[in-house]
């Protein structure tokens, strides 16, 4: 297959699926209460604890990642609770919107898009009220920012009434995010990001402190009720029909991610992002995020170049799928994902085509010479030189 024929899905979710995982997805169906499936499920749940770096059980919801965000809220909070949401982009807004729709008293700590939350400012806010929860993203995928979760966990530890809910949908499995060591009380993720699966499964784990909250929580819930799910898992089954195909594929995915240890796999994502960032800088593009996440790189486009056009042309001519900006960033940034099954030559191919198109659109700003030295550096970083 020539690179032009291959599909280059390099958005920050969904991502390209590893061929071994595709094979698992094609296996014939078995019943979700069969012994054959039960052993897959058991293996997956055991390996997810290693992925989350937690001693607590990890549970599955048959939903996208946002379902687990809603589950996190309805299982741990109660009517009238005060909550504080870090809002630094689209996904921070989503946390806030979920809280508001369940009638929680929702305060938003607004952070300029592209910036990370300041732990000391956050601490000052937590001192103003008895917040029951602090909700944040680990990586805000709309801007490419990685928030300092370890520091936020340390701050939250000083507030015994506050639990820390982290949306790790574009982080778990791609960025260091040890749930127990960093004092995270609820951690959620989704299948179509770092685990290189299709969308359709969400994962959630609760700390001991968060489990105590579930006994008090009075928000309405039926499908998301984790106490019910936990009772069923104890009996060796999921409460509802399992997504048999994706669970079996996750079994394979987790082996790929964990085979040389999680940290080894994280370095792989880190390397792709570093190569991309350095290449963009050499070529003359500015990285948008002040504290960039290794899972995606958002780059600013110079005035006069519309991001939508670039994205459309790359899809049409090169089979490359990148993401644009949302809201006021629409047209102004392009987001390149580093999660999923991406080989080194795929990263270089995408940068090559993107830079070539930019030279064509704006020859006064960009040059082929800069492109060549940018790609050379990217290759060196990727090959570990
Ligand atoms: C992708 C993403 C989501 C949304 O996940 P869905 O699976 O589409 O529901 C939420 N938060 C972050 C940080 C994401 O990257």
Which residue minimizes the CA distance to atom 6 of ligand 1? 65
Q: Whole-model pTM?
A: 0.98
The answer to whether residue 385 scores a pLDDT higher than 80 is no
Q: What is the pLDDT of residues 160-218, one digit of tens each?
A: 999 999 999 999 999 999 999 999 999 999 999 999 999 999 999 999 999 999 999 99
For residue 203, the CA-to-ligand 1 centroid distance in Å is 12
* Sign of torsion over alpha carbons 356, 357, 363, 365: negative
Q: What is the pLDDT of residues 320-356, one digit of tens each?
A: 999 999 999 999 999 999 999 999 999 999 999 999 9
**Over the Cα atoms of the chain, what is R_g?**
21
Q: Which residues are 137's β-sheet partners?
A: 167
Pairing of strands 296-300, 286-287: antiparallel
Q: Encoding tokens for residue 212?
A: 């105590």
Write the residue with the smallest CA distance to atom 2 of ligand 1: 169
Structure confidence at residue 101 (pLDDT): 97
Q: Give me ligand 1 centre to Cα 169, in Å.
A: 5
With a CB cutoff of 8 Å and minimum separation 6, the contacts of 203 are: 48, 52, 58, 59, 60, 61, 68, 172, 188, 189, 190, 191
pLDDT at 273 over 80: yes
Three-state secondary structure readout of 311-377: HHHHHHHHCEECEECCHHHCCCEEEEECCCCCCHHHHHHHHHHHHHHHHHHCCCCCCHHHHHHHHHH
Q: For residue 283, what pLDDT band results from cuts at 50, 70 and 90?
A: very high
Average model confidence (pLDDT) for the chain? 97
pLDDT in tens, 285-326: 999 999 999 999 999 999 999 999 999 999 999 999 999 999
* Ligand 1 pocket, residues with Cβ under 6 angstroms: 12-13, 64-66, 91, 137, 139, 141, 167, 169-170, 190, 199
């Amino acid at each position: 297959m020539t690179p032009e024929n291959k599909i280059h899905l390099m958005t920050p979710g969904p991502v390209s699926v590893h061929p071994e995982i595709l094979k698992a997805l094609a296996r014939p169906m078995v019943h979700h209460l069969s012994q054959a499936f039960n052993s897959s499920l058991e293996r997956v749940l055991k390996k997810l604890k290693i992925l989350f770096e937690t001693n607590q059980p990890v549970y599955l919801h048959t939903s996208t990642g946002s379902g687990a965000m809603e589950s996190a809220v309805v299982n741990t909070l109660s009517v009238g609770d005060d909550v504080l949401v870090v809002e630094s982009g689209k996904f921070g807004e989503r946390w806030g919107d979920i809280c508001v729709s369940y009638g929680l008293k929702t305060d938003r700590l607004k952070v300029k898009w592209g910036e990370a939350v300041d732990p000391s400012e956050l601490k000052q806010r937590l001192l103003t009220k008895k917040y029951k929860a602090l909700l944040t993203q680990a990586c805000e995928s709309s801007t490419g920012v990685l928030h300092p979760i370890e520091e936020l966990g340390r701050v939250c530890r000083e507030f015994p009434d506050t639990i820390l809910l982290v949306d790790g949908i574009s982080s778990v499995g791609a960025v260091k995010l040890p749930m127990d060591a960093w004092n995270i009380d609820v951690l959620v993720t989704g299948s179509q990001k770092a685990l290189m699966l299709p969308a359709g499964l969400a994962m959630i784990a609760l700390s001991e402190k968060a489990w105590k909250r579930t006994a008090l929580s009075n928000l309405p819930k039926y499908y998301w009720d984790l106490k019910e799910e936990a009772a069923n898992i104890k009996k060796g089954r999921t409460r509802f029909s399992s997504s048999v195909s994706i669970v079996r594929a996750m079994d394979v995915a987790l082996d790929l991610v964990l085979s040389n240890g999680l940290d080894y796999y994280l370095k792989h994502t880190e390397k792709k992002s570093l190569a991309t960032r350095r290449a963009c800088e050499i070529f003359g593009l500015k990285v948008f995020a002040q504290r960039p996440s290794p899972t995606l790189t958002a780059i600013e486009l110079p005035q006069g170049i519309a991001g939508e056009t670039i994205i459309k042309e790359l899809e049409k001519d090169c089979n490359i799928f990148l993401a644009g900006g949302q809201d006021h960033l629409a047209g102004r940034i392009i987001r390149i994902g580093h999660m999923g099954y991406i080989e080194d030559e795929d990263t270089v191919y995408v940068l090559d085509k993107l830079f070539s198109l930019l030279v064509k659109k704006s020859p006064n700003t960009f040059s082929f010479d800069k492109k060549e030295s940018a790609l050379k550096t990217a290759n060196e970083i990727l090959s570990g030189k």
